[in-house]
Amino acid sequence: MIKKELISLDFYKKKSVLTILFFVSFFASIMVSTFLDKNYLIYIVPVVIFIILLKYISLTKKNTNLLFVFALLTVIVSDILLFYCFEECFLWISLLISVYLVSCTLILIKYLNRSKVKSLLSISLLIGVLLVSYLIYAVLELLINYIPDNLLFFAFLTAFSLIIYTLTITIIYVNDNYTNCTLLLASGIFYFFQIALSPINELLYYDRTFTVLIVICHILSIYLFMKFIVDTKVIVSGDIKEKYI
């Protein structure tokens, strides 16, 4: 009995340490993006993502989803390339971001298994999808002259992956089957703004304020997504009650 209590105490200590490390590193990344050259972010942002990865593993243990682990590893690599050589590594950054988005979409599929068909016909859902698609189109149109023709395919691939990812999150949120869907929606919104601002900041108009916003949105989007898949239990069809007639 005492041994079990000691193991439990040790587990909670580890969680507390990782939580503290996350917030300290998150704050450090904001300070670096605010006061130092953006190139220094290569030394701190990947560390923050790695801490999120460790926290995820510590929370899930045997139930760790290897696909999410793989997705976070692709994020770490893409972050390194983004802050080191965005223009030169645009192809690889686009591919890695697309892989992350596809991986996260696949992870969310199980939360769609019991979705209501009527949600697909929701006016609010359609308006949201059209709005997101238009914003992505506007960003691509703005940047199309700054992206080499041979790399346009990868830009559109990332945009398409983002639309599918956003659509998946929107359906889950509209279905309203989970108490903490707000975390997932916030994660999607943060990631959308990060993806939209990053190429503008790197290729069109660099601004330190944009860099700070990108870092904040990037880290929060991944952390909130992790919180959602850790804390949210998939609801079986028998547990879903009709709210409207």
Q: What secondary structure, in 3-state letters, does the chain show? A: CHHHHHHHHHHHHHHHHHHHHHHHHHHHHHHHHHHCCHHHHHHCHHHHHHHHHHHHHHHHHHHCCHHHHHHHHHHHHHHHHHHHHCCCCHHHHHHHHHHHHHHHHHHHHHHCCCCCHHHHHCHHHHHHHHHHHHHHHHHHHHHHHHCCHHHHHHHHHHHHHHHHHHHHHHHHHHHCCCCCHHHHHHHHHHHHHHHHHHHHHHHHCCCHHHHHHHHHHHHHHHHHHHHHHHHCCCCCHHHCCCCCC
Sketch the domain layout of the chain as residue ranges. Answer: 2-239
Give residue for tokens 């953006």: 38
How far is the CA of 187 from the CAs of 9, 54, 182, 191, 231, in angstroms?
A: 31, 19, 8, 6, 14
User: What integer pLDDT is reported at residue 229 of this predicted model?
Assistant: 92
State pTM to two decimals.
0.84
Which pLDDT score, from 0 to 100, does residue 240 have?
Answer: 47
Predicted pLDDT at 190? 93
- The pLDDT, as a whole number, for residue 196 is 86
CA atoms of 105 and 107, how far apart (whole Å): 5
Pick from 172, 81, 165: nearest CA to 125? 172
At 213 the pLDDT is 94
Contact 208, 34 (CB under 8 A): yes
**Weakly modelled stretches of the chain, pLDDT under 70:** 1-15, 113-129, 142, 176, 235-245
Model pLDDT, residue 154: 81
Q: What angle do CA 202, 193, 149 make, to 5 degrees?
A: 45
Provide the token pair at 241. 């009650």
pLDDT for 222:
96
Residue 6 confidence (pLDDT): 44
